[in-house]
Structure 1
Amino acid sequence: MEKFLYAPEIAKLGHVSLVSADLEKSLWFFRDTIGLEETEVVDGVHYLRAWGDFEHHTLSITAGETSYIDHIGWRTKRREDVATFAKLLEDAGTEVRWIQAGDELAQGEAIRFELPSGHRFELYYDMEKTPADESRKSVLKNQTYKSWAKGVSPRRIDHVNLQTSEDNSVIVKYLQEALGFKLREYFVNPDDIPVASWLSVTNLVHDVAIISTPRSKEPNEMHHIAYWLDNAQDLLRAADILCEAEVQFVGPGKHGISQAMYIYVKDPGSGLRLEIFTNSYLIFEPDWEPVKWTYEEYLKNGSAYWGDRRRDDVVREEQVKELAKS
């Protein structure tokens, strides 16, 4: 096998590419109600980002006959890491497809491939940091847009949570060995088999989570994407805004795993679940040991430490029991 001077690394979550069966409703939700800023609209694709995101887009939305996630983009730490990852993935038996610079607006050369679950990832390095137009530009030189200009107004993209019918350990092993993710927390069923895992390449508790459940009809489903709010007060403000928009949601509440406060709400256009996310904790220890939650611990405090446990959209008691059967 070819030797490299250094191991390639992923720097952060970049963007999510959403195809929506009802584009107008999805734009009303993400752009007008959640308050993401629209960077450009080219060839029917709407490119959006939060007011604190620097890259050209962290979410793209296009119309389709059905709703699904086309791919999830991750930025590498170095430009050459893209080609190095391609070589290593191909050597390990993963089929890799090259995406030419400009095929995705504002993005350089990239690769796309599938996890064992079928979720499609994209790795890139070059992405334009498009400035905001003057009417929306922040007076702060270290911020893209004006803060809280409209809607819920999250600061940045935070993480993705993948849902699958496949073996959790297989996908976690792939994320660790092929892509360099670190396991931070995980939940096991009564037979001590992992069924939900939280991993990151940054200091966050998770940049990606993977939940294995018999509720999944397909191996490559999406549980939710998440955008970050600065604090708990912003989360309460978000609840008021969603109520005024007459959009049902779950929360506010607090997870035991990640210690984050949350609201879950669904895009009425695509059905994609959005988590509005704040607080949590950061990991700086180089010798971090993954935190294991038993079935009983997860049921008691892991998913909902406190908050709204009643509605169907969160992993409540009945769903946790289903997870435990995996």
Structure 2
Amino acid sequence: MTKPEISKLGYVSLVSTDLEKSLVFFKEVIGLEETEVMDGVHYLRAWGDFQHHTLSIRQGDRAYVSHIGWRTKQKEDVLAFKELLENEGINVQRIEPWTTPGIGEAIRFTVPSGHTFELYYDVKKPAADEKRASVLKNQTYKAWAKGISPRRIDHVNLHTAEDWKETYSFFQDVLGFKLREYLKEDDSNQILAGWMSVTALVHDVALVSRQKDELPTPARLHHLSYWVDDSQDVLRAADICREHGLNFCGPGKHSISQALYLYVADPGSGCTVEVFSGGYLIFEPDWEPVAWNASERAFGNTYWGDSITKKEIIKHTIEA
């Protein structure tokens, strides 16, 4: 029997302690479009995202990520994953179709890193209203309508204080992620950070292993990332952040992934967003993961530009 597969990152479910500030940030600064508001939850997506939403935000008494959604390759994969996960001893919650607007039947579970994942296949792809719709048939909204205006969601970066061997094994052997690049201890094979994907991207998810005393809670979200088309868009993002009085890190370029970056935090939730562009794609079926040593960490993080190792803004994580 063929193992079930994940096709892509779907959405992030965010809880904010100041919903009003978060909505201004994500709608006016980042430039996401709102597709629906239901029961106090706001559903947003970028102008090139097709499914109902790639981010949901609601008010809460603390800031955290409720769960991270991933779309499977086939409808049958959802229940196939349920069976596979239960055979691994994972408790799986079944979510009735359309309980979450735009999302069909789903399963939700906690991975060994401590993060909550959701898997689903069926989605709704609502059209934009006439005033916001693009004239392009292969694009949802007009580009550049407001804010930084990213094309699509790109990846999430997760931190965990749980066992690194069990966590990386689960992501690869059970969920099917491929390790593309990784950071390890100089004198051992202990993985400190791994960049993994189910697509041709260098990473759909990055996972960073941290000691328990370094994290307030075992499972954290370091950042979520939205993709812009080119380097000029990243520079434009810096102008927009400055106009809104927001501190940011970047622009710069990672050695790992070779991508351009800018990091800025949502004032409402504290959630950091990476504006992301460039990099490379992986099409080789026999790709060998690229290893970086801990002594190369600063260079791996910053090839050139504003060093992320010196910026407090991206050291901030929220509970996930």
TM-score above 0.5, yes or no: yes
1:187 aligns to what? 183
Q: CA deviation at 1:298?
A: 2.2
- 1:49 matched to 2:45? The reply is yes
SS in structure 2 opposite 1:302? helix
Equivalent pairs, count: 310
Q: CA deviation at 1:191?
A: 3.5
Q: Counterparts of 1:1-326 in structure 2 under 5 Å?
A: 4=1, 6-192=2-188, 193-214=190-211, 215-299=214-298, 301-309=299-307, 310-314=310-314
Whole-Å Cα distance in 1 between the matches of residues 164 and 301 of structure 2? 17
Q: TM-score, normalised by structure 1?
A: 0.93
SS in structure 2 opposite 1:116? coil
- Once the two structures are superposed, residues 243-295 of structure 1 have per-residue CA deviations (whole angstroms, 9 ceiling, x without a partner) of 00000000000011000100011100000111000001000000001100012
**8 Å CA contact retained: 1:168, 1:196:** no
**What is the one-letter code of the residue matched to 1:161?**
N
Whole-Å Cα distance in 1 between the matches of residues 226 and 286 of structure 2? 28
In structure 2, stretches of 5+ residues that fail to align are 316-320
SS in structure 1 opposite 2:313? coil
- Once the two structures are superposed, residues 138-178 of structure 1 have per-residue CA deviations (whole angstroms, 9 ceiling, x without a partner) of 00000000011000000000000001112323211100111
**What is the one-letter code of the residue matched to 2:164?**
N
Q: TM-score, normalised by structure 2?
A: 0.95
Q: CA deviation at 1:314?
A: 4.2
Moved more, 107-116 or 182-191: 182-191
Q: CA deviation at 1:219?
A: 1.4
SS in structure 1 opposite 2:141? coil
Regions of 4+ moved over 4 Å: none
- Once the two structures are superposed, residues 205-239 of structure 1 have per-residue CA deviations (whole angstroms, 9 ceiling, x without a partner) of 00001111232121111100000000000000010
- Once the two structures are superposed, residues 81-103 of structure 1 have per-residue CA deviations (whole angstroms, 9 ceiling, x without a partner) of 00000001001111100000111
Identity of aligned residues (%): 60
Whole-Å Cα distance in 2 between the matches of residues 93 and 7 of structure 1? 17
SS in structure 1 opposite 2:257? helix
**8 Å CA contact retained: 1:168, 1:197:** no
Whole-Å Cα distance in 1 between the matches of residues 65 and 112 of structure 2? 16
**What is the one-letter code of the residue matched to 1:16?**
V
- Once the two structures are superposed, residues 104-160 of structure 1 have per-residue CA deviations (whole angstroms, 9 ceiling, x without a partner) of 012110000011121000000001001000010000000000011000000000000
SS in structure 2 opposite 1:298? helix
Q: CA deviation at 1:296?
A: 1.9
**8 Å CA contact retained: 2:114, 2:160:** no
SS in structure 1 opposite 2:232? helix
Whole-Å Cα distance in 2 between the matches of residues 312 and 188 of structure 1? 23
SS in structure 1 opposite 2:276? strand
